[in-house]
Amino acid sequence: MTIHIGAEPGQIAETVLLPGDPYRARWAAQTFLQGAELVNETRGMLAYTGTWKGNRVTIHGSGMGMASMSIYANELIRDYGAKTLIRIGSAGAMQAHVQIRDLVIAMTASTLSTPSAGILRDLNLAPCADWGLLHAAVTAARARGARTHVGSIYSSDVFYDERPDLNEIMTRHGVLAVEMEAAELYLVAARHQARALAVLTISDHLLTGAALPPSEREQSFGDMVETALQAAFA
């Protein structure tokens, strides 16, 4: 057990899927895993361990923002032996050709600041996905016929952003989407020699204002979860 995770030793699998919303973790576990067992509910952050096609998997909520992601990613790797961590979450599109419900698979994740900044100091380290996971996820998503985009994303450390100038710059430079966790996940994984990837579903569009309702954000992201699971065990 750790300060933030109440699971007993051995209850967390080496492969962990990380939705931000703990209720999405519950939905994904009940929908995609066999024999899913609740292994953590400390601070309301639900986690379930079960099997997918005979492979042991944990689906663990990570909370909102990079500070929360940093806590869970560090403890899952250092204290529970997680080796593959895949963020499954929603994102806002920043390009006209990226549509609501499309998948975005993040090669790199840019950011203004993360909890790792104090460690990196003056180094502007560019966090990126694990190549094996990335390649497997793209292959799996396209085999499913899902509209899929692969490239750079932006991990914001604020939700209520008041920097339209920054959004314009990122759009000009081809950034596909914005979310709030992946950059720190990639940095923590790199520091501990774990594999990491972010597979995202577009739930909002910064250019058009289109958005999915909350219920669909939680329960309609099947392509994303299946893609992440297939990538983990390719």
> Which residue ranges make up the annotated binding site for phosphate?
20, 24, 43, 87-90
**3-class SS at 73?**
helix
Q: Which residues are annotated as a binding site?
A: 4, 20, 24, 43, 87-90, 179-181, 203-204
Q: DSSP characters for 12-27?
A: S-SEEEE-SSHHHHHH
| Cβ(166)–Cβ(189) below 8 Å | no
Q: Which residues are annotated as a binding site for a purine D-ribonucleoside?
A: 4, 179-181, 203-204
CA end-to-end distance (rounded Å), the chain: 30
Q: What is the CA radius of gyration of the chain?
A: 16
Amino acid at 190: A
Which residues 6+ apart lie within 8 Å of 85 measured at CB?
16, 18, 73, 76, 77, 185, 189, 194, 195, 196, 197
Which residues 6+ apart lie within 8 Å of 5 measured at CB?
12, 40, 42, 45, 47, 60, 72, 75, 76, 79, 80
Tell me whether residue 204 is one of the annotated catalytic residues. yes
Q: DSSP characters for 139-184?
A: HHHHHTT--EEEEEEEE-S-SS---HHHHHHHHHTT--EEESSHHH
| Active-site residue identified among 21, 165, 204, 223 | 204
Strand-strand pairing, 195-205 and 177-179 = unpaired
Residue 11 backbone phi and psi in degrees, to 5: -85, -15
Active site residues: 204
